[in-house]
């Protein structure tokens, strides 16, 4: 089982539950419609990667505020990258097919260390590519807030300890290449909680 870092140890998420189309400006940049209900999909444990890998020029990065679950609720927060095969995803959407081939492949989810939090108020992310700020957003911009997301997931799916919930990406997604340097940060108000740097391999 693949693992993520939490405190001074490593934990194994059973699954990653992802929210699609949770920021209005990101929906607009991809030309999608506003969802009438929450868009959810799953990445398996096997999708977790230690490194940020280049697969093809079709791939896009998506920075996300990500939550570690314990006792059925949000316990910790980290920065997550949802790596997406964008052209393939578009083809699948047009045909009304599931997204797993474009979203759940090996090494399609990479994370910073997770840190414990008491609540989700004031959480935000920043993602830098080669020193340039390319994504920025927080819970105040989410269509569905973290607690709403957890409540909706529980209507059909059990949440196990150390599962991860990826809460959606703000505008600014795009392509990347080998050698690009990314820095993801999670803040609570003005306080930096966790950060991680990756160089694409």
Q: Write out the DSSP string of 92-118.
A: HHHTT--SHHHHSSTT-EEE--BEE-S
Q: What is the average pLDDT across 33-40?
A: 84
pLDDT at 35: 75
46 has a pLDDT exceeding 80: yes
Q: What is the average pLDDT across 15-39?
A: 83
Phi and psi, residue 106, nearest 5°? -60, 140
Report whether 153 contacts 17 (CB < 8 A): yes
Q: Which two tokens stand for residue 167?
A: 């809460």
Query: To which residue do tokens 């090996």 refer?
Result: 106
Contacts of 98 (CB under 8 A, 6+ apart): 41, 92
User: Domain limits of the chain?
Assistant: 4-199
pLDDT at 27: 65
Chain segment 141-173, per-residue pLDDT in tens = 999 999 999 999 999 999 999 999 999 999 999
Q: Tell me the pLDDT band of 131, cut-offs 50, 70 and 90.
A: very high
Query: To which residue do tokens 């260390």 refer?
Result: 113
Confidence (pTM) = 0.95
Which overall architecture, per CATH, does domain 4-199 show? Answer: Alpha-Beta Complex (3.90)
Rounded-to-integer distance, Cα 149 and Cα 73, Å: 11
């Amino acid at each position: 089982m693949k693992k993520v870092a939490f405190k001074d140890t490593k934990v194994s998420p059973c699954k990653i539950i992802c929210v699609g189309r949770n920021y209005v400006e990101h929906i607009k940049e991809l030309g999608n419609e506003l969802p009438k209900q929450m868009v959810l999909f799953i990445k398996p444990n096997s999708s977790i990667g230690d490194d940020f890998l280049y697969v093809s020029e079709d791939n896009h990065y998506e920075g996300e505020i990500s939550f570690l679950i314990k006792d059925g609720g949000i316990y910790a927060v980290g920065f997550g990258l949802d790596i997406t095969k964008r052209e393939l995803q578009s083809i699948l959407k047009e045909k009304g097919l599931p997204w797993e081939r474009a979203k759940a492949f090996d090494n399609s989810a990479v994370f910073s260390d997770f840190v414990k939090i008491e609540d989700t108020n004031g959480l935000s992310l920043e993602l830098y590519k080669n020193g340039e700020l390319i994504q920025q957003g927080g819970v105040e911009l989410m269509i569905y807030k973290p607690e709403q997301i957890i409540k909706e997931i529980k209507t059909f799916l059990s949440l196990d300890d150390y599962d991860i919930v990826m809460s959606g990406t703000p505008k600014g997604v795009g392509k990347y290449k080998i050698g690009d340097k990314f820095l993801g940060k999670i803040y609570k108000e003005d306080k930096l909680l966790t950060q991680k740097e990756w160089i694409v391999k």
